[in-house]
Amino acid sequence: MQVMAGVSLILLVVGLTSRFIQYLSQAVAGELAADVLLLLMLYRLPDFFLVIVPLSFFLGIILVYGRMYDENEMVVLLGSGLSERRLLGLTFLTSIIVVFLMGLFSLTIAPWGARNTEEIKQSQEQLTEIDLIVEGQFQAFDGGSRVTYVDRTITGTDSGKELENLFVAMSRNARSSNEQPESNDEQVRILLAEVARPIIDESTGARLMQMENVYQYDGSPGMVNFSIAQFDMQSILLPPPSEFEETFEEESLRTMDLIGSNSLTHQAELQWRLSLIFLVPIITLIAVPLSKVGPRQGRYGKLVPAALIYAVYFFVLQFARGLVSEGSLTSVIGLWWVHILFGIIGITLYRYPDLGRFLSIGRSA
C-alpha cells in the first residue's frame, strides 16, 4: 500500500499540474476568474483518483512482487509452504480496500464533484470581461486584440462591478459597439474613461462595457496624425461567454437517479461507474502472475507492459461505454464483455505464468 500511495502521489501531481496549467492559462487570458481555480481543481480531484488509484495499485503489485522475485524473497516464501493460490487470495484481500475507495469515489464523490464543477462553469458563463479584470494589472482580452488596465474596481453596486480610471488599447478590429471600421489600415484605438460598468442590450442580448467621460485616440503606430475625440458615453462590445470543457449531464447525476432509467446514456454511465469498481479485482488477477520475473529480467521490466495493459483495458471500457450510449451495443452486453475478456487474460496468465515472461522489457536469454 505504501508503494501504491507513492505511485498515486506522483501520478496525481503530474495530472493536477497539467490541469492547473490549463486553468491558469484561461485565467491569464481573462476567460476564467482566478478565485475559482482552486475550487475547480478540488472538484476535479475525484476524476483523477478514478484513473490513478487502480493504475497505482496495479503498478504497486508489479513493483513489490517483482522486487521480491528479483531478490529471491518470493522463492523462499513459496518454498516455505505459501502457495501461489494463497498469494493471490491475500492480494485480493488487500484489494478490498481499493475496491471500497473506488466505490466511494465512483458512485458518490465523483458525481458530486461533477455537479459542483458544472455549477461553477455556469456561473462563469454569466461573467463579463469586467468581472475578470484585476485592478493594477494590464490584461489582454479578445484574443489579444484588446489590452485593459484599471486603477480601481468597485463591487457591490447596483450594476455589478464598476471600474474607475480605465485604460483600453485595442486594434481597429475591436471597435466600439456603435461604429463600423472605415478601412483595413493597421490602426490602434486608445480609450481613457472615468467609469465603466457592464450592461446587456435588451434587444440583442449582447454584452457591452459602457464607459463614461471617454477620451478616444485613433491613429497608426509611429505616426503623428492621431485624431482625438471626447464622448460623454461610449460602449464596447464584449465577446460572448467562454466555452468550457463539456460536462455531460449523466456524469453529474446521482447514482440512484441512474438506476432503473431507460435512457441509454444513463445505463452506460451506471455501467461505467460499476466497471471502475470491477476493474480492481480484474487487474489484481492480472498483476499477480504478471509480476513474476526471472533472475536476470529485473524488477522494472514489467512496468511498461503493465501500463499498456491497463491503458488498453481502460480505453476499451470507454469505447464500449460510447457504443452503449449510442445504442450500437445492447446494455445487456454493455461493458461486461470487457471485464470477461481481461478476466480470461488474467486466468490464462495465472494458469500459465511463463507467458508473462514474454511481456518483460529487457528480458535476458
pLDDT in tens, 112-125: 988 888 888 777 76
Give the pLDDT of residue 241: 63
Cβ-defined contacts of 3-10 (< 8 Å, 24+): 3/59, 3/60, 3/63, 3/64, 4/53, 4/56, 4/57, 4/59, 4/60, 4/98, 5/56, 7/55, 7/56, 7/59, 7/60, 7/63, 8/52, 8/53, 8/56
Please name every residue paired with 199 in a beta bridge, in sequence order, or none if there are none: 208
Picking from 38-52, 115-129, 333-347, which range would have the lowest pLDDT averaged per residue?
115-129
What are the grid coordinates assigned to 3, written together? 508503494
Give the pLDDT of residue 280: 93
Q: Round to whole Å and give the CA distance between 148 and 150.
A: 7
Give the pLDDT of residue 1: 60
Confidence of residue 2 (pLDDT cuts 50, 70, 90): low
Which of 39-43, 67-71, 115-119, 278-282 reaches the highest mean pLDDT?
Answer: 278-282
147 has pLDDT over 80: yes
- Any residues with CB less than 8 A from the CB of 112 and at least 6 apart, and which? 46
What count of other Cβ atoms lies within 10 Å of the Cβ of residue 205? Answer: 8
Task: Note the Cα 12 to chain centre separation in Å.
Answer: 12
Output the pTM of the full model.
0.69
173 has pLDDT over 60: no
What are the grid coordinates assigned to 207, written together? 454584452
21 has pLDDT over 60: yes
Give the pLDDT of residue 281: 94
Q: Where are the beta strands (DSSP E) in 54-159?
A: 139-141, 146-157
